[in-house]
């Protein structure tokens, strides 16, 4: 079965063999890359090369502003927030506390602009206003109904939370307007602001394009701004090529075709949907469904199946693994590493899952718990046992750990921890209350260790980039000011809270040959791509589709009234991606976790249920389980030979501290005779731990000093 992009390449090549002045706009870079590959297989020496571009780059070319990264945007929004929300002398909110909901507010502003919503009317207090029918006449009766239902709840009870909501809500338009004005004055914009400016200025002389050359490929869920931009060029002669299937487009019960059905009613875009869609989804295909307890069980089973299929002749380049749950990336890579020679990973690896992030957390906590020149044993022991610190100097780290445990030191002086190992000297020293330089020095030293892998060095590089960006944007540099211990701890806790929020959003990109080997992708990266063999993991509710857990300050009813994206919008988008990646596949392997959590969540995905009961496809179902094979319990017997009897007799030999067998020893003997043997005869003791309190268990124990 031919892929959508290959069919399109053949079709367009017949229409314009020279490709003179043709520009194709795609939803993402991966689709453009595969189109170029298919085109190169058709023509070897084109007279002209088509211009392949993503929708983001296409819109950005029509504007003169720059889009900064999220950290800079939230930092600028914080300044506007302090100016507007806290203008009345309210308590100033520090940046680390503001970042979480500042990120949420930035996302709301971005959607307001991408969906061309009238922000002034959106952020109005409509509790006691009768202008809903007159001032909002552009809304439908259903949309006005959603607004009435939301604001009527404020008339019934006005508790403290609702009053706080209204207090902030009525200031959001001023904040929105001020924030946009400050960005515009500096030639900056967030993505939605840029899209809105282009969409609203598309008909002016300031934006000039040759519309005849434009072809929009493979779009589905357009924002209002994208819709307005595309409809403008379609009205001037550009073409749109949709990627869909008759199975879900022409069935009103299938949410996957929701957006395409809406565009079939669009006054302008409907003219691009006259040809109809192929019926690839119902064609013969092998579909195998596997259930496995626990997510990692899926990856192990998947690796075995991939290995078996490769031995039967499966081509890696024709195979795609889709990972809705990014936490399974490393288990998947480890599982298929022995079978696959080459693979390409399109999704990023979260920086928060790296061992270096754990080390940085410990470093900041070490400084928070420090008192004068003494460090707390918890962080010290954890650091001395960390793999990176052991790699820097194992003998020194192990010797220090042993001595701390032997002497039961709760507080360890800085002088004791100083060793000849450079990393140790950098770690165990007093740091400023904003430890950017402190962390940078340690990461640089760790990154230079010879025993580190390439992955570890990449972690170090990404963290250095993040710390440098924090220094540039937030303006937090090492200060020479003397601060109190209380102020320093508060500052360090704020720094750690902000760092955690930033690290969770950072991804480490994998580099490789994008067209070679087996492909591993996230859900969104599969747009417009077709593979003969498709493997999808984590087909459970909460993973695919994901829970709509992104916070918003704009309530559901108001979102619904103004046509902003809601949970139904997300479900329809993910349903389309699910069916679209399967529609041209020939061999499909689907996996889900058969073991739900304690709350009963995590059951089979609704899309999988639809596939089983609605699609008409024949599914082969398999369940991974381990048969119960209880092992026989063989008793452990210690023969009382002369040596054992001698050791038993010595237990009653008295000395100045001990007379006979202790009550604890007798209790141990009655509880478990084998435990008594290990503890008192073989002298095998449990690992020492630092005891902060002198409780009954250690009172009189002279081995603790």
Condensed to tens digits (0 to 9), the pLDDT of residues 501-510 reads 899 888 888 7
Helix segments in 606-662, DSSP class H: 606-613, 642-650
Which of 113-117, 605-609, 650-654 has the lowest average pLDDT?
650-654
Condensed to tens digits (0 to 9), the pLDDT of residues 479-515 reads 444 455 566 677 888 888 889 989 988 888 876 678 8
DSSP-based three-state secondary structure for 524: helix
CB count in 10 Å sphere of residue 140: 11
- CB-count exposure of residue 193 (10 Å: 0-12, 13-18, 19+): buried
Q: What is the mean pLDDT of the chain?
A: 85
Find, among 10, 1, 4, the residue nearest to 39 by Cα.
Answer: 10
Looking at per-residue pLDDT, the higher value among 602 and 211 belongs to: 602
E strand or H helix that includes residue 23: strand 23-26
Gap between the Cα atoms of 529 and 31, Å rounded: 6
Condensed to tens digits (0 to 9), the pLDDT of residues 159-182 reads 677 777 787 888 899 999 999 999
In the block, residue with structure tokens 């957006």: 259
Gap between the Cα atoms of 520 and 322, Å rounded: 6
Residues recorded for the chain: 705
DSSP letters spanning 159-212: -HHHHHHHHHHHHHHHHHHHHHHHHHHTTB--HHHHHHHHHHTTTSTTS---GG
DSSP 583: T
DSSP-based three-state secondary structure for 291: strand
Condensed to tens digits (0 to 9), the pLDDT of residues 326-365 reads 889 989 998 998 888 888 888 888 888 889 999 999 999 9
Mention every residue, 6+ apart, whose C-beta is less than 8 A from residue 582: 281, 285, 534, 588
Condensed to tens digits (0 to 9), the pLDDT of residues 138-151 reads 667 777 677 767 66
E strand or H helix that includes residue 572: helix 567-582
Gap between the Cα atoms of 527 and 577, Å rounded: 7
pLDDT at residue 89, rounded to an integer: 52
DSSP letters spanning 422-452: HHHHHHSS---SS-HHHHHHHHHHHHT-TT-
What are the phi and psi torsion angles at 5 (to 5°)?
Answer: -70, -35
Condensed to tens digits (0 to 9), the pLDDT of residues 41-95 reads 888 666 678 899 999 999 999 988 999 999 999 999 999 988 887 665 555 788 8
- Contacts of the segment 485-491: beta carbons below 8 A, 24+ positions apart: 485/371, 487/433, 488/367, 488/432, 488/433, 489/368, 491/433, 491/434
pLDDT at residue 338, rounded to an integer: 81
């Amino acid at each position: 079965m031919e892929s959508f992009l290959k069919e399109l390449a053949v079709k367009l090549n017949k229409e314009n063999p020279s490709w003179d002045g043709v520009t194709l706009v795609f939803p993402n870079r991966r689709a453009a890359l595969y189109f170029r590959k298919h085109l190169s297989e058709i023509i070897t020496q084109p007279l002209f090369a088509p211009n392949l571009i993503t929708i983001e780059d296409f819109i950005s070319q029509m504007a003169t502003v720059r889009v900064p990264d999220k950290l800079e945007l939230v930092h600028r929004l914080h300044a506007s927030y302090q100016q507007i929300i806290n203008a009345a002398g309210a308590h100033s909110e520090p940046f680390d506390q503001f970042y979480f909901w500042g990120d949420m507010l930035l996302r709301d502003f971005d959607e307001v602009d991408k969906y061309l919503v009238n922000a002034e009317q959106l952020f109005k207090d409509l509790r006691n206003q009768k202008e809903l029918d007159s001032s909002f006449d552009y809304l439908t009766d259903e949309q006005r109904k959603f607004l009435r239902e939301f604001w009527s709840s404020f008339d019934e009870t006005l508790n403290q939370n609702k009053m706080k909501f209204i207090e902030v809500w009525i200031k959001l338009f001023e904040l929105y307007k001020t924030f946009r004005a400050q960005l515009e004055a500096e030639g900056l914009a967030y993505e939605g602001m840029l899209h809105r400016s282009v969409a609203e200025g598309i008909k002016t002389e300031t934006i000039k394009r040759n519309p005849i050359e434009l072809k929009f490929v493979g779009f589905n869920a357009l924002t209002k701004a994208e819709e307005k931009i595309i409809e403008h060029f379609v009205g001037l002669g550009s073409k749109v090529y949709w990627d869909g299937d008759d199975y879900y487009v022409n069935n009103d019960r299938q949410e996957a075709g929701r957006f395409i059905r809406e565009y079939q009613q669009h006054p302008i875009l409907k003219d691009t949907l006259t040809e109809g869609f192929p019926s690839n989804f119902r064609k013969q295909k092998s579909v195998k469904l596997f259930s496995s307890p626990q997510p990692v069980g899926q990856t192990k089973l998947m690796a075995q199946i991939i290995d078996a299929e490769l031995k039967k002749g499966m081509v890696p380049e024709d195979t795609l693994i889709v990972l809705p749950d990014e936490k399974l990336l490393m288990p998947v890579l480890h599982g298929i590493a022995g079978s696959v020679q080459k693979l390409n990973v399109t999704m990023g690896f979260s920086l928060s899952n790296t061992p270096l992030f754990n080390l940085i957390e410990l470093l900041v906590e070490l400084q928070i718990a420090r008192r004068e020149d003494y460090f707390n044993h918890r962080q010290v022991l954890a650091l001395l046992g960390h793999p990176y610190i052991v790699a820097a100097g194992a003998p020194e780290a192990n010797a220090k750990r042993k001595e701390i445990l032997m002497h039961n030191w709760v507080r360890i002086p800085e002088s004791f921890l100083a060793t000849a190992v450079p990393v140790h000297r950098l770690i165990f020293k007093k740091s400023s209350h904003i430890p950017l330089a402190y962390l940078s020095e340690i990461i640089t030293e760790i990154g230079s260790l010879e025993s580190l892998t390439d992955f570890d060095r990449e972690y170090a590089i990404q963290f250095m980039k993040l710390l440098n960006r924090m220094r540039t944007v937030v303006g937090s540099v090492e200060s020479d000011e003397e601060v109190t211990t209380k102020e320093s701890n508060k500052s360090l806790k704020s720094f750690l809270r902000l760092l955690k929020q930033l690290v969770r959003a950072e991804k480490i990109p994998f580099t490789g040959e994008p067209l070679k080997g087996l492909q591993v992708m996230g859900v969104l990266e599969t747009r417009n791509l077709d593979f003969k063999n498709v493997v999808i993991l984590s087909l459970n509710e909460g993973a695919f589709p994901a829970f709509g857990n992104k916070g918003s300050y704009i309530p559901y009813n108001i979102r619904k009234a103004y046509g902003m994206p809601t949970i139904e919008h997300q479900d329809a988008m993910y349903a389309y991606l699910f069916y679209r990646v399967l529609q041209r596949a020939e061999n499909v392997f689907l996996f889900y976790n058969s073991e739900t959590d304690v709350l009963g969540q995590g059951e089979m995905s609704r899309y999988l249920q639809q596939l089983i009961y609605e699609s008409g496809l024949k599914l082969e179902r398999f369940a991974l389980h381990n048969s119960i094979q209880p092992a026989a319990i063989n008793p452990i017997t210690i023969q009382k030979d002369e040596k054992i009897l001698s050791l038993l007799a010595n237990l009653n030999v008295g000395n100045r501290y001990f007379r006979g067998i202790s009550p604890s020893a007798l209790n141990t003997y009655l509880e478990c005779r084998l435990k008594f043997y290990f503890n008192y005869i073989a002298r095998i003791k449990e690992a020492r731990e630092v005891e902060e309190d002198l409780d009954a268990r250690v009172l009189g124990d002279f081995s603790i000093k």
